[in-house]
A and B are shown apart, each in its own frame.
Chain A
Amino acid sequence: MTSKISRRTMQPPARPVGQRASPPGKTARVPAVARRGRLTLQQIKHAVDTALRGQTFEADAQG
């Protein structure tokens, strides 16, 4: 099996903080944003979840 584990560090290749796991595109919706700010990620998620609670949105057409 091919492994991408680095010979030098014996660790999987690290993905920098905030960098997306998949290439940019229509379905890969979670964008890479440097995760530095006043609010923690939990606070960000809580704020959005609270604001959008009970709402539905129009789905986008698939390209």
Chain B
Amino acid sequence: MPRARIPAGYATNVFINCPFDLEFQPLFHAIAFAVIQCGYTVRCALEADDTGATRIDRIYRLIDECRFGIHDISRIEHDTVNNLPRFNMPFELGLFLGARRFGAKLQRDKQCLVLEAERYRYQKYLSDIAGQDIRQHDNDPAKAVGAVRDWLAASRSKSAQPLPGATAIMRHYLEFQANLPAMLRAADLEPAELGFFDRANLMAQFLETRAALAV
């Protein structure tokens, strides 16, 4: 009998399911930085499609490959273009929970964090998720970082090395943000040209270099 396939990096892959609009970017970038500094791998739907797969197939693959999922469902307002709500985030949260519930043995180990801007607001529009790990961030990147850090820390074994504190992560993130314009100049990139992977790789390299320069 063939053994179940284990996706590469599954145990440390973190699927970030959140709005990608400009308004949410400060939270998205801070969350990604926290994930990276905690030693995990950021994955999200912004990854370039190099397979020709449809969007839903890419989402399936992402969820399959990630043990962890961070789902921000705070964007419930109508968008300014179509005056309609966006359902992608709660839909992908449902897929993630479905994989955990009905998936193979490996998938049943999935860990899920649900983020909302306001406490208990989800009860008015997505009450079925009551009982999940739901944290509020008040649209404050520092609070989102704290929620992500504490959730990742709670999933680790007692023998694992402790994660950096939320305050330290935020300090490093602000240092990264302050140095980002100089990094972009050195890379000959405009801010709008900085894609998901390059930003994540810059974050990773920044942390490595910063550690070497710390006194």
Contacts and interface: CB of A to CB of B under 8 A. Distances in A.
A30 B204 contact: yes
Contacts, number: 150
Contact of A33 (B42, B161, B186, B193): B42
B48 A36 contact: yes
Contact of B47 (A34, A52, A60): A34
B198 A37 contact: yes
A47 B202 contact: yes
A12 interface: no
Contacts of B39: 20, 23-25, 28-29, 31-32
Given A24-B39, A33-B41, A34-B197, A48 B206 contact: yes
The interface centre, meaning the residue of A25, A35, A48 with most chain B CB atoms within 10 A of its CB, is A48
Q: Specify the main secondary structure of chain B where it touches its partner.
A: helix
Interface in A1-24: 16, 18-20, 23-24
Interface of B: 8-9, 12, 35-43, 47-48, 50, 156, 160-164, 168, 171, 175, 179-180, 182-187, 189, 193, 195-198, 200-211, 213-215
18 contacts: A19-B9, A24-B12, A24-B161, A26-B162, A31-B37, A31-B41, A32-B12, A34-B47, A36-B47, A36-B50, A43-B187, A44-B201, A44-B205, A47-B202, A50-B186, A55-B179, A57-B175, A57-B215
